[in-house]
Structure 1
């Protein structure tokens, strides 16, 4: 009993320390009420649990025996037994304590019941108001709420106090108090029960306080009322009264709000505490499994060869009926002294055929029955052996075909057979020697050998990834440092590859002690594509989706095309797929889309730089986009397109403007609809003008612009805002807004209009396209206005007048 009380107290103390540290000052009062009551139950239950482990019994084969003779008699002296009064005193004190606390409980309960019976009552809804004269503090007992009669009749009781006491009644707080009072009677000596009761009552006050505040009462007003009642507080044992002993703690908790995430994290910490308590305060007990000994039947074999069980003849069918429900059945056969040995052996064989595995033969002629105790094959097994042996012996000795499972089976059967059975059975086959086990195949690890390819433009490929001389050296160094990697590499280059780059790679191969096995590999098969190297259906489908997306985002701007930025990874990957396509695959696939020119490596030669710079210039001239060189985090050069930080796109139909605006040094995307501006940050949340987040969650892609579904917005090839893909199955074409094109020059605009057979006017007079071009070149002060741009016959006006005609497209004068 003492051990149980100590374990109960330890469990309850751990739970209460955990509550004080993590939960007492939190705002989850309902959870705390459940926690406090549950911990009391667990503290009572855990020490009483016993986990039973069943073990096999240990049989001690050595028995010590002793004999006491009649002569070994010892005279014994009567033992004086001393009485231990300590347990009697302790139990008497415990019983006295129970009596005192039980008496106190009954007196308090009788006081409350007397108040209910002897005072006027007023029922309001589900509550019964008991009006007591000279009552200082309101309190509650189940649905009975006790008020001062005079104040109640004068309506002097504040509304906040009514709500507070009604909450106690509604949430049945009296049940918790009664439960703790009863446990206090039993564990009156344990101080933890008093502390637990105090915490439970304080949490009741927290619950009632929150109910008052949830009714719209200002905290300051409510706190003033609590302070006004504090000087009149009186203690109520069984009732829930307004408790003022910890008024400061209640005020603090009123202003506390604990997040759900914090509560979840704290609650998860309960699990290791529970595991620790179950491990440390429960009992474990080992019980031996009761082994039921197998049933043993004793048979007697008489002189007539009959088996007797309890002096009655028993047949083999009867024995089989006994064996079926009990497969562990054992048989003991007592043999008649002059019994025939053959008959006894025949009985043993028949019992084995039934399935009985353990038999004991009792006879004085043990030497004659020795062979009977040996294991031998059953007639069925002998018959199976004879069939297999006959089949194998009938085959040709030069080229026999024998299954491995037949060899294993016939060896097993032959070992079971007795000497007599072997003599009368088919001769054991003479098997040919088995061939040696095949040498295990050499495991080939894909990409174990490093491949370095160099093209005529001085561009490297390291294991199918674009690289530079620096990345080649880094790869060689990693291969040299890794003992598990092969030191064989393959370095191949085109005939017209830069000779200095080839020499540098060969120098690195020698420096890191690597072997170039390029010459030992077979040459590739003729033709551009092979069946093995051609892309799969999935790769072709992915390429088509990529090419189609690039083309859809490519914008025709008259003199050229505005293409979206393309990542180097996608460009390399899909270029490789397109190159590996067969002619048939290319005919059925999307044509290769426009893409950025490759970047100029840092270690490129002057000749390479000139060629690659020429390609970049051609791209810029064709697509009207400025290409810049940039470094990635891996120090690899890439080509990017840089645009203005701020741009506007006007949609007259919905009066929508979109653009970019820097807030606190960070670029934000903004949308103006009917002069109402919304700003969005990188994560797609709406923010105010100062950059403070005002939306609780990421904005949906369908809510950014009317009638459009926008997932990403770019500037300078970088994502500025990314919105939630809220309807991925509804919108097949998702719009990622790229940066806008730079405005074209006035001269390029005149040339583009000339190609569209436009009509040109200078100060109201019709002029030719050549004249218009010359006028623009000579006079920077001219303004250009274009009308009917959407038709087949646009008109272009060159004038010094600044008045804009109706329905015109204006090109700013600053764009030369």
Structure 2
């Protein structure tokens, strides 16, 4: 409402300034009457005009919402809500407005009542369509609709000049009272707006211009008419204060302007020029004070790519963990070769608090591939105060951000009230419930922070059972995401125990995020390039003249063992090496010595057979039961992870070291293990 009033007041002021500067002193009085009334109405219509622009965005998305998180969720002063003022200013302002409307409404009704009383209580006679009301009071002649009020004594003695009667008859014939009633009602409703009073003055003055011109055209004696007007102004017997405000009176002020306009004769050329100036004026007002609205129009998407932000510059695309700088290359090679980038949508999921700059950096990398449709789903997003915007326009390259909470660093209290959690951007069924992701932080002392509360390790399982209790175990295995944020010096046994608890809770994915990746689950980009180059080299060789280097073959096997299923499908086929040539015939051994007869051989006692060797899986489980420490390719891993590695690859190399006094160490490696002497 406040914005509407400010816009309409600005339009009124601009229209009035144009009238005062360009039109008021011209003799085009009928046009000026139309302009003033139209300007009054138009000033309240322009702020309600809405220009709509349709923007194409991805299906099932809404307008962009931006949000942010703080780096220290334990104490986040930016999330404090400003205290509501105990005094309600809105009620007070509305009360003042209503009182003003009542006061001005009573004044308006009182004036109408006075007019009606004078018509009813005084003698009157009708001549043609005009009714003349003869008053006993000494009042100047005035008109209300087709009633002309004249002093009875002056009229009977014929002391009222004919020019004055003609002046008042013009007011009646041209229905000037309709304009007065319109502006009076506007004044009652908008009594607080000073521009309304200036409009009222200009409208009434223009009525006098119209009546003055009618008198001069008929009598053609301007000087005599001017003297008549002056005589009415200087007559002491007339009490001007008794003149009714809603009537047209001959002694209306601004005599100097009336006399000046009487001498003016506007040419047709000047009138056309001044009228044409209204076109740029209207364009300026429409552009500056109307409303511009952008409506999202859904466009279909042929392919959706899902990403998970793991760290500041690390993202997981399906099963592959890559750096932000490698995102465009991965998208081009693995997705956009068969799909149109303009009809491809990227959905980015982030559980831990994320800064807006991180999202913007990733979006820039994605858009270099030609993909415009990007939607982010986040729990909390953090932005600086300078980045906060309201009513962000939707464009084809808008990153649609759905955030449950937005934190603006350095925001003031007035803005803080506007920064509320965003509504869900995707439609939900009536029975659908929110799935709360799990975010756990473990510091270097092994303390566990869950939902901004310190939770003992022994109580973590019970605390997790209260989260997402509307989901079954099978549903959690399909949808629940968990993130463990660790410090560089976080105890490994605490990480392993928390990881085990989350797995037992039914978490679908468990991402351990810290200053460095704890273990590698797939081949890196550099290793993939090395493998493809070697595999392509051997696949191109003639099998009859192939030269095989053992070092390169071993390297191919090592990298191939690290690859995920997706990487193996996209990589060069593993070379089909020919079988090794048969070993050369060995030289014949020398003849054994002759057997000496009658000598009994001593039959030795055979030692007991050694027990069957344990399988790698049984060995690792036994070491896990003893509390052994495990490493994979030189990186520490949990016992659970070691068991998973053995189950997936029973050809992995194992080296176990230990003593009675020390915890055993089990080294797992896809590369051959070198044993130091």
Indicate whether the TM-score tops 0.5.
no
TM-score range, shorter chain: 0.3 to 0.5
TM norm structure 2: 0.40
- Highest relative contact order (Cα 8 Å, sep 6+), 1 or 2? 2
Query: Rg larger in 1 or in 2?
Result: 1
